[in-house]
Structure 1
């Protein structure tokens, strides 16, 4: 690959934290071993997937980032006649170094999601946490024929605020105050104040996942120019049809198709915490029934019920002092991304209070 920036040394989620175990206090005052935030990374080649040829293995990947319109893009591309998107979003099969419990586990189950493809030029899936994975880009590189990888980047401060709200709704975050959740990271790195539902654990590391540079480098180092496209969230919100045409050209599909672009996710709150807790951790009899149901129906049913348990609501703007602190924290990384991608991200360095988007 050409360009000196493609060969810079990069870090990873695994370098941000060791995979050591710590004791988490229990309600009874005892302790139980928990993995801190990141499981021991799988060595290269351990991912249980065999080299595949032909159209069954996907060749289009929406690989990031969470809360940057990846659901909107997944749905929009699914309406393109030259594109087949997997029925399930976020299968998370290729990021085994991240801590998801609800993922597609086997190669056969993964490939089954693409069995209904009928000769489309692009067969795709969307798992936005792939951006933070060491394993995912290597697995794509090793298994996909003529891959196309899309990564959508959003103002990191704005995105963290949105991600926190989503994780509160899912039960993966139990601290409702964004300020307090940020302050809790040192405790959580010691195994304290962790939610029962840790999916993904990496999502609780707000100060760390605000940084894009190391992960941008990883993808630049892994893929050729014609295989990888970074898109600014702001450009898409300003000119959705124009950006859609550019993406279609990159994918090698008809750019003249009029996009069916759904409304972007807005901030939502829970209707019922009890329903949320039931869906996040169903009783054992319900789990046993779900395991007996073939295919992905239990997951799809849970996702539908999850959406029905949410309602739109306004969220207060982020406090100005917190916005300034986070912006200063992200500034060196923003400048790094500017150098890597040749973008002008001066608007990401603003210090205005941010509302939920």
Structure 2
């Protein structure tokens, strides 16, 4: 049965959903309709416990090999096969599993300013009603106890942004010519040349992709009493929803989420004070990232907010 020739392995909230959608339009590539199969995140069934909503997410993992291979069965015979799960870079055990099963795979990595990535991640979960902590800086400080309690990767706002350590491990497994490093701003500001770079890296025809499909930006959710009640209801559903079939969950969750996200407009910008408070989590790793890649990321030490404009996925 078929297995992928390439993987988009990182990082969450950095354009992976948009890149998946763009590459899926290339006639020489095949990416399954299931974005983020998460196959390499576990050896067997995913864990049963976690943070709000994690149990339902774990139910979505394509963890059986036969089911994973079946995702690629509809591919044309000539097509290169790929998938996008942005947690593979963060999960070092997933990197090891990829190396064992797909040692010749080509790997695409999208990196984003780690402070902005963390804030976008927190905003995503806040707008979904799952994040109980209203203060972004405090939510970052809560990471360690949440990790110890088994909360899933998407709650690891700080650790997800330690790209230097993650890439150092990856470079120890795969040759550099198997790995393409991109930046979120490249896809946002220069989408066509960036897509051509990806195609050339994969060995398929460039010049056929001329747009990165737009994705919905996480909506603004104010911290009001009404919204607090809606978020509490959604978190309760997140704790017990895995006991019910998906259609039943959707019947109850859909109206609550619509009500919570009723206000139009993008997320509240990250304040200079918040940026100053969170940046120290990443300074040492940015230095490591520059060391292992030979590239400069100095703008991440001082840059302003990179707005969410193309990717609302995980």
TM-score bracket for this pair, using the shorter chain length: 0.7 to 0.9
TM-score under structure 2 length normalisation: 0.79
Using the TM superposition, give the Cα deviation of residue 188 of structure 1 relative to its aligned residue in structure 2, in angstroms: 3.7
Give the SS at the match of 2:208: coil
Using the TM superposition, give the Cα deviation of residue 184 of structure 1 relative to its aligned residue in structure 2, in angstroms: 2.6
Q: Identify the match of residue 346 of structure 1 among 293, 298, 302.
A: 298
| Cα distance between partner residues in 1 of 2:33 and 2:94 | 20
Instruction: After TM superposition, list the pairs within 5 Å mapping 1:236-315 onto structure 2.
Output: 236-269=187-220, 273=231, 276-277=234-235, 280=238, 286-287=244-245, 309=258, 310=261, 312-315=264-267
| Cα distance between partner residues in 2 of 1:351 and 1:233 | 14
Using the TM superposition, give the Cα deviation of residue 166 of structure 1 relative to its aligned residue in structure 2, in angstroms: 1.1
Q: Which structure carries more relative contact order (alpha carbon 8 Å, separation 6+)?
A: 2
Using the TM superposition, give the Cα deviation of residue 73 of structure 1 relative to its aligned residue in structure 2, in angstroms: 0.3
CA-to-aligned-CA distance 1:186-235 (integer Å, 9 cap, x gap):
554665xxxxxx762x3333333331111011111111223211111122
Using the TM superposition, give the Cα deviation of residue 348 of structure 1 relative to its aligned residue in structure 2, in angstroms: 0.7
Give the 3 Å change call, closer, same or farther, for CA 69–57 of structure 1 in structure 2. same
Q: Which residue of 2 aligns with 1:35?
A: none
| Structure 2 residue 117 is matched with structure 1 residue 159 | yes
| Cα distance between partner residues in 2 of 1:189 and 1:136 | 17
| Cα distance between partner residues in 2 of 1:355 and 1:236 | 12
The answer to whether the 8 Å contact 1:164/1:173 transfers is: yes
| Structure 2 residue 18 is matched with structure 1 residue 67 | no
Using the TM superposition, give the Cα deviation of residue 316 of structure 1 relative to its aligned residue in structure 2, in angstroms: 2.1
Larger % of helix: which? 2
Where in structure 1 are there 5+ consecutive unaligned residues?
A: 1-53, 192-197, 291-297
Q: Identify the match of residue 106 of structure 2 among 145, 148, 152.
A: 148
Q: Which residue of 2 aligns with 1:101?
A: 58
Instruction: After TM superposition, list the pairs within 5 Å mapping 1:205-224 onto structure 2.
Output: 205-224=156-175
| Structure 2 residue 115 is matched with structure 1 residue 169 | no
The answer to whether the 8 Å contact 1:130/1:137 transfers is: yes
| Cα distance between partner residues in 1 of 2:151 and 2:135 | 19
Using the TM superposition, give the Cα deviation of residue 160 of structure 1 relative to its aligned residue in structure 2, in angstroms: 0.5
| Cα distance between partner residues in 2 of 1:199 and 1:77 | 31
Structure 1 runs, 4 residues or longer, greater than 6 Å off: none
Where in structure 2 are there 5+ consecutive unaligned residues?
A: 48-56, 222-226, 309-314
| Cα distance between partner residues in 2 of 1:134 and 1:280 | 27
| Cα distance between partner residues in 2 of 1:181 and 1:235 | 29
Give the 3 Å change call, closer, same or farther, for CA 285–71 of structure 1 in structure 2. closer
| Cα distance between partner residues in 1 of 2:94 and 2:242 | 32
The answer to whether the 8 Å contact 1:62/1:70 transfers is: yes
Instruction: After TM superposition, list the pairs within 5 Å mapping 1:28-47 onto structure 2.
Output: none
Q: Identify the match of residue 31 of structure 2 among 77, 82, 85.
A: 85
Deviates more, 1:171-180 or 1:62-71: 171-180
Q: Which residue of 2 aligns with 1:4?
A: none
Instruction: After TM superposition, list the pairs within 5 Å mapping 1:311-326 onto structure 2.
Output: 312-326=264-278
| Structure 2 residue 77 is matched with structure 1 residue 125 | no
Q: How many residues align?
A: 284
Using the TM superposition, give the Cα deviation of residue 342 of structure 1 relative to its aligned residue in structure 2, in angstroms: 2.1
Root-mean-square deviation over aligned CA pairs: 3.1
| Structure 2 residue 185 is matched with structure 1 residue 234 | yes
Give the 3 Å change call, closer, same or farther, for CA 355–238 of structure 1 in structure 2. closer
